[in-house]
Amino acid sequence: MAELAEKFETPFLLGPGGWTGKIGGEKVYHWVWRNAPISGQSQMHFCRDFVPKELGYKKGIIIEPDYAYGHDMLKAAKHFFKEGGVEVIQEVIPSFPTMDFAPYLGALNKEADFLLSNHAGSDAVRLVKQFKEYGMWKHMALLGGDIAGADLAPAEGEAAVGIVGSYPYNHNLEFQKNIEFVKKWRAKFKEPSCMLEALSYTSAKVVLKAVEKIGGNVEDKEAFLKALSEVELEGPTGHFKLDKETHNAVLPEAIWEITGIKEGEPIHKLLKVYTTEPGPVAEIFRKE
């Protein structure tokens, strides 16, 4: 799609689903902008700073799904762990989908302090449940991002308790706009908001701001892109803006721990919030 956008000179706006390092990392496309992070951006400070300094972990294992996103997250995590002095002693790439993680969990090096995963969807639920079922918590901690967000943790139940993770959004972020957003979302849908909803909402607001700035003249595509690049607003993720060099969003890096389950919902305790620029992550993919 990015190549088609360039060929036909048409603005292409990526939301919270296309995190690939090939866009904004390996190559910056003139017509493509992303109102979301680049792969690995949400774990830069987590891997480099929080894990070694706050959790005190020195050795870890990374397990990621065998598709582009998983490989991108592995690459970024390894880079930032190295910068933080954390040794990655094992890398595991299970086939996708993985119905049974037992062979992979059984082969993990027990000298590790933690296992880091960014599995999503049903694979994340199976991994989290089987990690507890097979008694892995007595050997190492479970860390991640996607694996225990507000959208997945309810299905994981008590097995998710204890996970520490990092993500570009958490419904407990104390920004005023997020407090308002979460209240309205819960009133309508009876559940906490997650990253997909928060960033989709923000993306729509960004586009509307850009269109307003050019007086609705979207036929002037260059003017629209310029207006888009200059949009700054307050939203569920705090102060939102786009990085003009990489065409990716500047976003928070919310670090949390699941401390329990209340009325079927995970309790996400917010531990720390960083602000992450996409530049350092884009550089990892650009060097290939």
Percent over 90 (pLDDT), the chain: 83
3-state secondary structure of 200: helix
The two structure tokens encoding residue 156: 């994981």
What are the angstrom distances between the C-alpha of 264 and each of 34, 154, 180, 196, 258? 34, 6, 23, 21, 13
Residue 279 has pLDDT above 80, yes or no: yes
Give the mean pLDDT of 55-74.
96
Residues 6+ apart with CB under 8 A from 68: 20, 22
Residue 288 has pLDDT above 70, yes or no: no
CATH 3.40.50.720 fits 41-169+255-275, yes or no: no
Q: For residue 226, which of 240, 242, 238, 239 has the smallest C-alpha distance?
A: 242
pLDDT in tens, 186-208: 999 998 899 999 999 999 999 99
pLDDT in tens, 111-144: 999 999 999 999 999 999 999 999 999 999 999 9
| pLDDT computed for residue 19 by the predictor | 82
| pLDDT computed for residue 97 by the predictor | 95
Give the mean pLDDT of 163-182.
94
- The span from the CA of 115 to the CA of 165, in Å, is 11
| pLDDT computed for residue 128 by the predictor | 97
What are the E-state strand segments in 170-264? 232-235, 238-242, 249-262
Domain ranges of the chain: 2-40+174-250, 41-169+255-275
User: Higher model confidence: residue 191 or residue 51?
Assistant: 51
| pLDDT computed for residue 105 by the predictor | 97
| pLDDT computed for residue 145 by the predictor | 85
pLDDT in tens, 98-115: 999 999 999 999 999 999
- The span from the CA of 258 to the CA of 270, in Å, is 9
Global model pTM greater than 0.85: yes
Q: Which CATH architecture has domain 2-40+174-250?
A: 3-Layer(aba) Sandwich (3.40)
Q: What are phi and psi of 46, to 5 degrees?
A: -60, -50
Give the mean pLDDT of 238-266.
92
- The span from the CA of 255 to the CA of 274, in Å, is 8
Residue 2 has pLDDT above 70, yes or no: yes
Q: What is the mean pLDDT of the chain?
A: 94
Q: What are phi and psi of 145, to 5 degrees?
A: -140, -75
Report residue 263's pLDDT band, with 50, 70 and 90 as the boundaries. Answer: confident
